[in-house]
């Protein structure tokens, strides 16, 4: 963190944004569950592992996370992007499974 501060990055703002992202992801998961939709939150490293059983991918973070999802999907699985900010520290994928 000291390195980021030395470069003029507002670390407190980054950490606050991360907290908001985690809360938003939890809210999305809760709403999907209430609607009876089975969802799994995975990391970029886990994405390919779970794609074969996925009906829809929701990418939640920045543009790079969405582009990574688009690159990983090799069939007609739809992808929805939720852009949190240009300074996303964390990246999430929601996989809807039947």
- pLDDT for 4: 72
Residue with tokens 């939890």: 26
Tell me 7's DSSP state. T
Q: Tell me how long the chain is.
A: 98
Where do the structural domains in the chain lie, given as residue ranges?
2-97
Q: Look up the pTM and report it.
A: 0.76
- pLDDT for 22: 85
Which residue did the predictor score with more confidence, 70 or 97?
70
Identify whether the C-beta of residue 83 lies closer than 8 Å to the C-beta of residue 66: yes
Secondary structure of 34-94 in HEC code, one letter for each residue: HCCCCEEEECCCCHHHHHHHEEEEEEEECHHHHHHHHHHCCCCCCEEEEECCCCCCCCEEE
Assign 14 a pLDDT band (cuts: 50, 70, 90).
Answer: confident
pLDDT digits (tens, 9 = 90+) for 30-86: 999 999 999 999 988 999 999 998 999 998 888 888 899 999 999 999 999 888 765
């Amino acid at each position: 963190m000291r390195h980021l501060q030395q470069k003029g990055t507002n670390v407190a703002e980054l950490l606050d944004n991360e907290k908001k992202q985690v809360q938003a992801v939890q809210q999305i998961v809760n709403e999907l569950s209430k609607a009876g939709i089975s969802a799994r939150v995975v990391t970029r490293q886990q994405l390919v592992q779970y794609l074969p059983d996925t009906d829809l991918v929701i990418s939640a973070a920045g543009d790079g996370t969405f582009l990574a999802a688009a690159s990983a999907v090799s069939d007609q699985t739809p992808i929805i992007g939720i852009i949190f900010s240009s300074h996303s520290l964390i990246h999430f994928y929601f996989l809807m499974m039947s």
